[in-house]
Amino acid sequence: MGYAIAEAARDAGHEVTLITGPATIELPDDVDVVPISTSDELFDAVHKHVRYCDVLVMCAAVSDYKPAHFSRHKLEKQREVSALELIATRDILASLPAEDRAYLVIGFAAQTHDLEQNALRKLREKNCDAIVANDVSRSDSGMESDDNEVTIFFRDGQRKTISRAPKVIIARELMKIISQLHGNSLTKFF
């Protein structure tokens, strides 16, 4: 979805910086790419580049947890039961300034249940201008699919649903909505 949004922004004439982890699909042409591999690298890259943007679109599905300990070497199999200790990853959206920011923040809420309730909570708690919610429990839409179906929740209480369609179509519709939300003065995208 992120690559489709980057392409839609580029096609609409905007300058695009794409912060991306490893992917199996081809990178979009004519966008600035910032490669990352971990959630901590994503956190740092967003904070480094956000000061130069008009709109920040955070559609990466970052895991909420990561292993507490990292090993550069293969862990050998052991006979006894072992436990994997997890710690929370840093919440990038929640770490952004709530006031006096010069950019629009569009978050994503990948949900498996209670889509509306969870999306509205994230919209408020993470101080987004809008949040794009999608149900990732379905195999025909969302993650690992060329299609998606989303509902955009806005800070003023409005919402808009984009029915199931290829992600490139969803991205183009999102670009129209984001442009309207920002007043058609976009110059950079993340």
Give me the CATH number covering residue 173: 3.40.50.10300
Contacts of 117-125 with C-beta under 8 Å, sequence gap 24+, read: 119/151, 119/153, 120/153, 122/93, 123/153, 123/155, 125/94
Of the candidate ranges 18-22, 94-98, 99-103, 129-133, the one whose mean pLDDT is the lowest: 99-103
Whether residue 70 is contained in a domain is answered as no
pLDDT tops 90 at residue 166:
yes
Whether residue 58 is contained in a domain is answered as yes
Neighbours of 173 (CB within 10 A): 17
Q: What is the pLDDT of residues 170-179, one digit of tens each?
A: 999 999 999 9
Q: Which residues contact 44 (CB under 8 A, 6 or more apart)?
A: none
Give the confidence band of 139 by pLDDT, cuts at 50, 70, 90.
low
Whether residue 74 is contained in a domain is answered as no
End-to-end CA distance of the chain: 13
| 79 vs 158, more confident | 158
Whether residue 49 is contained in a domain is answered as yes
Whether residue 31 is contained in a domain is answered as yes
* Averaged pLDDT, 106-131: 91
Which domain does 108 fall in, by range? 2-63+83-189
Whether residue 165 is contained in a domain is answered as yes
Q: Which one, of 72, 173, 161, lies nearest residue 116 by Cα?
A: 161
Specify the number of domains making up the chain. 1
Whether residue 71 is contained in a domain is answered as no
Whether residue 75 is contained in a domain is answered as no
Quote the strand ranges of the chain, DSSP E: 15-20, 32-35, 55-58, 65-67, 86-88, 104-111, 130-135, 147-154, 159-166, 188-189
Cβ proximity of 45 and 189 under 8 Å: no
Average pLDDT along the chain? 88
Q: What is the pLDDT of residues 66-107, one digit of tens each?
A: 889 888 898 888 888 888 899 999 999 999 988 878 899 999
pLDDT tops 80 at residue 13:
yes
